[in-house]
């Protein structure tokens, strides 16, 4: 059986996550994640599909990181005019 270090060296780093994992990566529930996406606070997902198929929606980790880094910190004044819809 391969050692843990050998497995980690071969395990790819995720660059896109499905909805449940994207929500968990952001530290919120899937329903709250949906609301954040709807309010344009978090980016919309990307469609990963072959032509003629429904495929699935995934979120790019780098876009989620950028959106979260752009949020105000605790105690910072919130700019209401950011273009985000109200939750």
Does residue 41 belong to any structural domain of this protein? yes
Instruction: pLDDT tens for the chain, 87 residues: list them.
Output: 567 666 566 667 889 999 999 999 999 999 999 999 999 999 999 999 999 999 999 999 999 999 999 999 988 877 665 555 555
Structural domain including 26 reads 13-67
Does residue 27 belong to any structural domain of this protein? yes
Q: Specify the number of domains making up the chain.
A: 1
Does residue 76 belong to any structural domain of this protein? no
Does residue 7 belong to any structural domain of this protein? no
Residues paired with residue 46 on neighbouring β-strands, in sequence order: 58
Buried b (16+ CB within 10 A) or exposed e, 57-81: bbbebebbeebeeeeeeeeeeeeee
CB atoms near residue 33 (< 10 Å)? 22
Does residue 39 belong to any structural domain of this protein? yes
Does residue 78 belong to any structural domain of this protein? no
pTM of the model: 0.74
């Amino acid at each position: 059986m391969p050692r843990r270090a050998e497995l980690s060296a071969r395990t790819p780093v995720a660059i896109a996550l499905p909805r449940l994992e994207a929500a968990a990566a952001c530290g919120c529930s899937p329903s709250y994640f949906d609301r954040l996406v709807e309010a344009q606070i978090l980016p919309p997902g990307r469609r990963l599909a072959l032509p003629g198929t429904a495929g699935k929606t995934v979120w790019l980790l780098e876009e989620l990181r950028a959106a979260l880094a752009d949020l105000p910190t605790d105690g910072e004044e919130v700019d209401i005019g950011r273009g985000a819809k109200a939750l």
